[in-house]
Every structure is written in structure tokens, then in C-alpha cells.
Amino acid sequence: MGDDSLFYRPKSPLVSTIGAYLGGPTPSRTDDPAVRFDRNGVEYHESYGRGPTTRLEWKEVRAVAVLPGPIEGRQALCVYPFRELPEPGVPASELWTGSGPGLAIRFRSLFGTPLAVHWHHVRGPSLEKLARRLPAWTEGRIALTSARPA
């Protein structure tokens, strides 16, 4: 990925735990997903620090959107590729763990793509920066939306 990138990775567990005690969202885990955008495309980490990474050039991406999550007031940042990504092989014991491959299956059912991060679980640049850069990186083809693509 290039030098001019926007990287959204899990929040520090200590900081997010303190935030949760103060009435904020539940804490992130070190194996929560992460996503990096740059002029070459998208790099999606299924479990930050371990597990597979999906890399897509911009010509392989049809949309990037911020959508409402399953809990009111929470959002997800989603990447929609042109091609269908293969279902991960997930042991039954990991299907409902809420992380890694099991979370990818949940994201696919909630958002129509396995490439998503819960916005309240990540830290990184503002969505406004991403919204400004996407059109430049994609020659105006992709803009950050708040609607699930058809």
C-alpha cells in the first residue's frame, strides 16, 4: 500500500474499555478487522495482526459505504467488490465468536459484504478524509455513500 493511505484499525483495548465503562460502545479486540485505503486500492485485514488479508485494486471495487449497524446509533464502513468473495472455511466452534472468519460471515449477512469494520471499534482518520480522497483515487468513479449498493 502507498505512503498516502488512510488506515482504520482496532482501537486500543484499554482506551475502548474505559470508554465502555463511561457509557460508550463495547471494547474492540486486537483481532477485530482493519482496513486501509490508498491510491492503489483497499487492503482488508480479517483479523488485525493475524489471519488473511484481502487486497483489491480500485478497478475491483464497486462501492464504499457507511451503513447503519445492527445496534441503533452504530455504523459500519463497508467495501463492495465487483466479484463475489469466497466464503471462508470456518470451524463450527468459530462461527459465532464475533471475530475473524465468523465475523466475516456475519458481516456478509448484515451488509452484503464480508469486507466491513464496525466504526465504533476502529480508530483512524475521519470519514470526511476518506470521502475527499476516494474520488481522487478512483478518477471520480467511487464516492463514499450512506446507501447499500444494488
Could you say which DSSP state residue 60 is in? Answer: G
Residue 2 pLDDT exceeds 50: no
Q: Domain limits of the chain?
A: 6-138
Residue 31 confidence (pLDDT):
73
Pairing assessment for the beta strands 41-47 and 34-38 based on DSSP bridges: antiparallel
Residue 143 confidence (pLDDT):
95
Residue 45 confidence (pLDDT):
87
Residue 1 pLDDT exceeds 60: no
pLDDT tens per residue across span 59-86: 999 999 999 988 888 899 999 999 988 7
Residue 48 confidence (pLDDT):
79
pLDDT tens per residue across span 33-47: 889 999 999 999 887
Least confident of 41-55, 88-102, 130-144: 88-102
**DSSP string over 30-48:** TTS-EEEEETTEEEEEEET
pLDDT tens per residue across span 84-125: 887 666 666 665 555 556 677 788 888 999 899 988 888 899
CA distance 42 to 6: 10
Counting Cα atoms < 13 Å in the Cβ hemisphere of 21 gives 5
Residue 50 confidence (pLDDT):
73
CA distance 117 to 110: 12
User: Could you tell me where the DSSP H helices lie in the chain?
Assistant: 13-21, 100-111, 127-137
Q: Tell me if 16 sits within 8 A of 24, measured CB to CB.
A: yes
